[in-house]
């Protein structure tokens, strides 16, 4: 079978990014992985942590070698030693916590899902005058995503007609887990489903398709608490359709594919961490998997990207502009409306 050579990613080494002084707002599960990735793969400085609990803040600071410990989020964002704040609280609180940090004039990296809904996202965009606000959709910044982007931009697949993406796990959660809690904007769509949604949007952008979906059809299964436990969606992007699936009920895999008139590209399983890709054009095939950073270490790429963009004086990410984040949340709103999930306080 003829061999294909895939384009190399243009992704900079996270070690090369200009240095910012970071503060973590909400030291939970992902914040721990983020801090480790920062330490192992970047020169970024994690200088402060802010928690609602003095014990959690102190314990996190000890574990990650952080000097400045704040027992309120307000004190963290007001810390003059902090240039940029990483918001790692539950989705329900991203709006409030990002507004705090923006109000203090800091650059802000907000965990995915950016906010509960598009209206909250628009509020943050309006508040981010003169600083860099970025959604921590880390897959956008991973090397394999740039390989896919280059394949699409170079037109190697011809006209793109179909996108598929899947993120399903058998989570086996305790009934009190935040993913099952409507008050914390739980549900699988905002937690895992945003990855397939963002992948489809990235492909649409790189392939020159309509960025705003032309149709959205969704079906889902709700958990006993009323949040979505499983969602499948068919999204139209002009002449292409995306089939997306996400679940906390079944381990359906974590793959993504793009099919065009000339061939297809597939991201290996675990497409949400640094992964390999396979390109097939007619009878010819080739793979790329030259990742030197693995697993959650990949969180370093988005963080280094923010530091680079801030040094360049940018106020928006070129790889995931805020307008696109808002559009993705509009699609998520539409899906939730069809599936029947409304969070407390939403109309």
The residues annotated as belonging to the active site are: 112
Residue count, binding to ligand NAP (CB under 6 A): 20
What DSSP string runs through 20-34? -EEEEES-SHHHHHH
* Residue 342: partners with Cβ closer than 8 Å, 6 or more residues away: 336
Q: How many residues does the chain have?
A: 347
Does the footprint of ligand NAP cover residue 85 (CB under 6 A)? no
Contact assessment for residue 337 and residue 219, using Cβ atoms and an 8 Å cutoff: no
Contact assessment for residue 262 and residue 281, using Cβ atoms and an 8 Å cutoff: yes
Does the footprint of ligand NAP cover residue 198 (CB under 6 A)? no
Minimum distance from residue 217 beta carbon to ligand NAP (Å): 25
Does the footprint of ligand NAP cover residue 27 (CB under 6 A)? yes
Minimum distance from residue 2 beta carbon to ligand NAP (Å): 37
Among 41, 93, 144, 336, binds ligand NAP (CB under 6 A): 93
Contact assessment for residue 147 and residue 289, using Cβ atoms and an 8 Å cutoff: no
Does the footprint of ligand NAP cover residue 197 (CB under 6 A)? no
Minimum distance from residue 11 beta carbon to ligand NAP (Å): 17
Q: Which stretch binds ligand NAP (CB under 6 A): 52-60, 125-133, 240-248, 259-267?
A: 52-60
User: In sequence order, what are the beta bridge partners of 107?
Assistant: 84
Does the footprint of ligand NAP cover residue 114 (CB under 6 A)? no
Please tell me the distance from the alpha carbon of residue 98 to that of residue 124, in angstroms, as a whole number: 7
Which residue has the closest beta carbon to ligand NAP?
28
Contact assessment for residue 274 and residue 293, using Cβ atoms and an 8 Å cutoff: yes
Footprint (CB under 6 A) of ligand NAP, residues 123-152: 138
Strand runs (DSSP E) across the chain, as ranges?
21-25, 45-50, 68-70, 84-87, 107-111, 133-136, 160-168, 215-222, 228-237, 240-247, 256-260, 263-267, 277-281, 284-288
Does the footprint of ligand NAP cover residue 191 (CB under 6 A)? yes
Q: Which stretch binds ligand NAP (CB under 6 A): 49-57, 118-126, 141-149, 165-173?
A: 49-57
Minimum distance from residue 90 beta carbon to ligand NAP (Å): 5
Contact assessment for residue 17 and residue 44, using Cβ atoms and an 8 Å cutoff: yes
Q: Which of residues 212 and 294 has its CB atom nearest to ligand NAP in the complex?
A: 294
Among 11, 36, 44, 51, binds ligand NAP (CB under 6 A): 51
Preceding amide of 113 cis, omega within 30: yes
Give the footprint of ligand NAP on this chain (CB under 6 A): 26-30, 51-53, 56, 88-91, 93, 111-112, 138, 178, 184, 191
């Amino acid at each position: 079978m003829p061999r294909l050579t895939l384009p190399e990613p243009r992704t900079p080494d996270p070690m090369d990014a200009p240095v910012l002084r970071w503060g973590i707002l909400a030291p939970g599960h992902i914040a721990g992985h983020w801090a480790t990735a920062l330490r192992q793969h970047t020169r970024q400085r994690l200088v402060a942590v802010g928690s609602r609990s003095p014990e959690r803040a102190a314990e996190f600071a000890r574990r990650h070698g952080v000097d400045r410990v704040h027992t309120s989020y307000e004190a963290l964002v007001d810390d003059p030693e902090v240039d940029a704040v990483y918001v790692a609280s539950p989705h329900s609180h991203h709006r409030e916590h990002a507004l705090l940090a923006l109000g203090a004039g800091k650059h802000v990296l907000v965990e995915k899902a950016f906010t509960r809904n598009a209206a909250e996202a628009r509020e943050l965009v309006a508040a981010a005058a003169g600083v860099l606000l970025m959604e921590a959709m880390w897959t956008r910044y991973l090397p394999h995503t740039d390989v896919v982007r280059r394949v699409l931009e170079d037109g190697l697949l011809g006209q793109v007609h179909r996108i598929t993406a899947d993120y399903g796990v058998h989570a086996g959660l305790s009934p009190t887990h935040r993913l099952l809690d409507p008050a914390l904007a739980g549900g699988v769509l905002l937690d895992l489903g945003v990855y397939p949604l963002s992948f489809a949007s990235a492909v649409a952008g790189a392939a020159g398709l309509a960025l705003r979906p032309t149709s959205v059809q969704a079906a889902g299964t709700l958990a006993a608490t009323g949040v979505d436990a499983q969602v499948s969606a068919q999204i139209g992007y002009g002449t292409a359709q995306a089939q997306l699936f996400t679940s906390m009920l079944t381990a359906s895999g974590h793959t993504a594919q793009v099919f065009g008139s000339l061939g297809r590209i597939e991201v290996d399983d675990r497409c949400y961490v640094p992964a390999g890709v396979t390109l097939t054009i007619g009878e010819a095939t080739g793979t790329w998997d030259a990742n030197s950073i693995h697993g959650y270490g990949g969180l370093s790429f988005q963080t280094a990207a923010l530091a680079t963009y801030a040094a360049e004086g940018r106020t928006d990410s070129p790889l995931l502009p805020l307008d696109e984040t808002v559009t993705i949340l509009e699609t998520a709103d539409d899906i939730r409306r069809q599936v029947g999930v409304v969070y407390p306080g939403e109309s």
